[in-house]
A and B are shown apart, each in its own frame.
Chain A
């Protein structure tokens, strides 16, 4: 394992400390329990947004705390759900009296811990609405599994709902918008190399020099298939086709296209992917009205990418365009 760290057991803490130093104008970091809140929290009368999950996906979620996006983020150990005490304290720290939306990615640990936190918050008379994101088309959704994993659409939901909350919309409205984003967004990812969890010290999975994994999860969970490495054009088709046919996206739809790096893939390659995606979607009669390209929901140093498509309407588009000022996403200010 080659990593720029001190000790594996200190990675999460020291990374948070670094973020606290770097972004003290935007966020406040609380230690033990660990959570990050926007510097001006709580904001009276505004619905607050809290998310969280295992660390290792930076900038998600801590990098999305700030004006127009999340009010708080709770980081767990690397790839391990945070705990209810973190979520409860974060929820209390940001509640401005208008209620709190918990944005939860669909992993059993995240769901159970957020449910407990919501129960505890309700006992303290804080209104909480939880919305689960489950957009990964690589996983077959069935009654016999834990359901689809929450991946790329989470970033878009946090931005769009953050804008809605900033406009003063109600708890129910913000939660409904979050559900709309989840039901209108689909993602599929792929990997060229494995990630290495610091405490494990070894690659999570083995992939040959000439292989790729299609449908990978953001913790290195197995995908749909392992196959020979292919050119970008073919990779884009194999990611985008299942996305387009799943929703389904239809000719004439306006979409937000999000090309995400898993952490190890550089921007130059993301633009190659995006170029192929533009051509592919043109062929399907879909119009890319907005885009986001970069490392936003990563899997440590994994090389690879994910593609997310979100079907837009006028409301979602204007919420996407609204100002945002966070360490990881910033425009319009």
Chain B
């Protein structure tokens, strides 16, 4: 039960397509509590990332993920660029040289990625950020994988946990980023970063369900 290199590419491509299809939606979420460019910025970054995938050394999962990270860092701007850039760079470092990923590999990669995002953005759970989707997803995957659940089911549980975490950002008052300036007025809106993070994990569960 492993995730093959081509599956990883499929995940990246499907995530890019999902962002593209939902860029107006993500920007609309962002307009309510931020500066309204999350979808457009992420779409620009993921499209640039797709262009880098062809130059990746053969079948190196880590190199592909790093290429995505570098593209996001140089093309997204705002806060999302360094945060998603870091997420993918850390996924890449954790999987460097691998041609396929086991459940344990993905668990460690998620662990590094979340750690990297937290170190960069300094957000804690409950601050109304992407961390609120990522941490439950990481924990759910690790528990499921350690409990002997199949890779596909573990990914599904991780995706569900991300969704719950994303939905739980609605009533929260933002304590990080531009949304924090709104104080109480930020409550009642779903966080756009948590929303795109949920997409990332949901697409992983969909693309890799038969792995």
Contacts and interface: CB of A to CB of B under 8 A. Distances in A.
Contacts of B83: 112
Contacts of A200: 36
| Overall SS of chain B's interface | helix
Contact of B177 (A79, A108, A113): A108
A139 B180 CA distance: 11
Given A112-B121, A116-B82, A77 B77 contact: yes
A117 to B, nearest CB: 9
A139 B178 CA distance: 12
A63 interface: no
A59 interface: no
B35 interface: yes
Nearest to A79: B35
B176 interface: yes
A318 to B, nearest CB: 37
A146 B180 contact: yes
A83 B180 contact: no
B180 A109 contact: no
A145 B181 contact: yes
Given A80-B77, A85-B74, A108-B177, A113 B35 contact: no
| Overall SS of chain A's interface | loop
Contacts of B82: 84, 109, 112-113, 115-116
A219 B178 CA distance: 11
B77 A108 contact: no
Interface in A213-265: 217, 219, 221-222
Interface in A57-103: 76-77, 79-85
Given A139-B181, A144-B175, A145-B181, A83 B73 contact: yes
B76 interface: yes
B77 A144 contact: no
Given A80-B37, A80-B41, A84-B82, A113 B77 contact: yes
A33 interface: yes
A107 interface: yes
Given A145-B183, A146-B178, A84 B79 contact: no
Contacts of B74: 33, 83-85
A116 B177 CA distance: 17
Contacts of B183: 144-145
Nearest to A116: B82
Contact of B180 (A77, A113, A145): A145
Interface in B55-83: 73-79, 81-83
B52 interface: no
Given A113-B82, A116-B120, 17 more contacts: A79-B35, A80-B77, A82-B77, A83-B74, A83-B75, A83-B76, A107-B178, A108-B79, A108-B177, A109-B79, A113-B81, A116-B73, A144-B173, A145-B183, A146-B177, A221-B178, A222-B182
